[in-house]
Structure 1
Amino acid sequence: MKSNDRVAALGHISPATMPDVANDGFRWVILLAIWSAFTVSCVDRFAWSSIAALAGRSLGFDLALLGSLTTAFYVGYTVSCPIGGVMADKFGSRTTLGISMFPLAALTFGFSFVQTFWAAIALHVLMGVAAGSEYGATIKILTVWFAKDKGRAFGIWATGTSVSVVLANALVPRIAIAYGWHTAYQILGVATLVISAVCVLIVRDAPTGHSVPRTSGAQVALLLRNRNVILVALGGAGALYGTLGFVAWASALLTVAHELSPMVAGSVLMWFGGGAFLSKPLFGWLYDALHRYAKAIAVVDLVFFIALLMAFGECSSTFGYFLIALFLGAAAYGYTPLLIGLYTQASGPRLAGAAAGFVNTIWSVGSFVSPILAGYVFAHGRSLELTLGVIAAGPLIGALFLCCVRQLPTRASPGLPHVSS
Structure 2
Amino acid sequence: MTTALTPSTSSQPEIRNAYRWMVLLLCWFSFTMTSVDRSTWGPSSVFVGESLAIPLASLGIFATTYYIGYVVSNAAGGFLTDKIGGRLLITVSMIGAGIFMMVFGSTTSAVVGIAIQGVVGFFAGADYAAGIKLLSSWFRPEELGKVMGIFTSATSLGVVIANFAVPFLIAHSGWGASYHLFGAASVVSGILCWIILRPGPVAAIAANAAGSAKRPSAWRILSGNRNLLLVGLAGFGGFWGTYGFVIWSNALMIKGHGVAPATAGIIVAVFAALGVFGKPIIGFVADRFNGARRVPSIIVLGGFAVMLIIFGTLDSVPAFLIAAPLLGLTAYCYLPMIVALIPRLVSSDMVGTAAGLTNAIWQLGSVLVPIAVGGVFAASNNSFMAALGALAVGPLIGMVAMFFVNERPDEVKVIVKTEA
**Structure 2 CA distance for partners of 1:384 and 1:144, relative to 1, 3 Å:** same
> What does the per-residue CA deviation read over 1:254-286, in whole Å, with 9 as the maximum and x for residues that have no partner?
677777676665554443222222221112212
Give unpaired runs (5+ residues) of structure 1.
1-10
User: Is 1:77–1:125's contact at 8 Å kept on the other side of the alignment?
Assistant: yes
**Structure 2 CA distance for partners of 1:74 and 1:18, relative to 1, 3 Å:** farther
59, 62, 69: which is aligned to 2:53? 62
Indicate the residue corresponding to 1:168 in structure 2. 162
> What does the per-residue CA deviation read over 1:197-242, in whole Å, with 9 as the maximum and x for residues that have no partner?
111211111149x999799542534411211111100111112222
SS of match in other structure, 1:167: helix
SS of match in other structure, 1:218: coil
101, 108, 111: which is aligned to 1:108? 101
**Structure 2 CA distance for partners of 1:19 and 1:211, relative to 1, 3 Å:** farther
Indicate the residue corresponding to 1:5 in structure 2. none
**Structure 2 CA distance for partners of 1:328 and 1:15, relative to 1, 3 Å:** farther
Indicate the residue corresponding to 2:216 in structure 1. 218
In structure 1, how many angstroms separate the alpha carbons of the residues matched to 2:374 and 2:123?
30
In structure 1, how many angstroms separate the alpha carbons of the residues matched to 2:8 and 2:240?
35
**Structure 2 CA distance for partners of 1:304 and 1:50, relative to 1, 3 Å:** closer
Indicate the residue corresponding to 2:364 in structure 1. 365
In structure 2, how many angstroms separate the alpha carbons of the residues matched to 1:134 and 1:361?
12
Displacement of 1:245 after TM fit?
A: 3.5
What is the alpha-carbon root mean square deviation over aligned residues? 3.6
In structure 1, how many angstroms separate the alpha carbons of the residues matched to 2:378 and 2:48?
28
Give the counterpart letter for 1:151 in structure 2: G
Higher mean displacement: 341-350 or 265-274? 265-274
Displacement of 1:17 after TM fit?
A: 4.7
TM-score, with length taken from structure 2: 0.82
Alignment of 1:127-276 (within 5 A): 127-147=120-140, 148-172=142-166, 174=168, 185-207=179-201, 217-218=215-216, 220-224=218-222, 225-250=224-249, 267-276=266-275
SS of match in other structure, 2:293: helix
Higher mean displacement: 402-411 or 122-131? 402-411
User: Is 2:227–2:405's contact at 8 Å kept on the other side of the alignment?
Assistant: yes
User: Is 1:151–1:341's contact at 8 Å kept on the other side of the alignment?
Assistant: yes
SS of match in other structure, 2:390: helix
Displacement of 1:376 after TM fit?
A: 3.5
* Aligned length, in residue pairs: 406
**Structure 2 CA distance for partners of 1:124 and 1:86, relative to 1, 3 Å:** same
Identity %: 32
> What does the per-residue CA deviation read over 1:318-369, in whole Å, with 9 as the maximum and x for residues that have no partner?
6554433322210111100000011221124321111111111111122233
**Structure 2 CA distance for partners of 1:293 and 1:41, relative to 1, 3 Å:** closer
User: Is 1:30–1:203's contact at 8 Å kept on the other side of the alignment?
Assistant: yes
In structure 1, how many angstroms separate the alpha carbons of the residues matched to 2:259 and 2:169?
30
User: Is 2:5–2:416's contact at 8 Å kept on the other side of the alignment?
Assistant: no
Give unpaired runs (5+ residues) of structure 2.
206-210
TM-score, with length taken from structure 1: 0.82
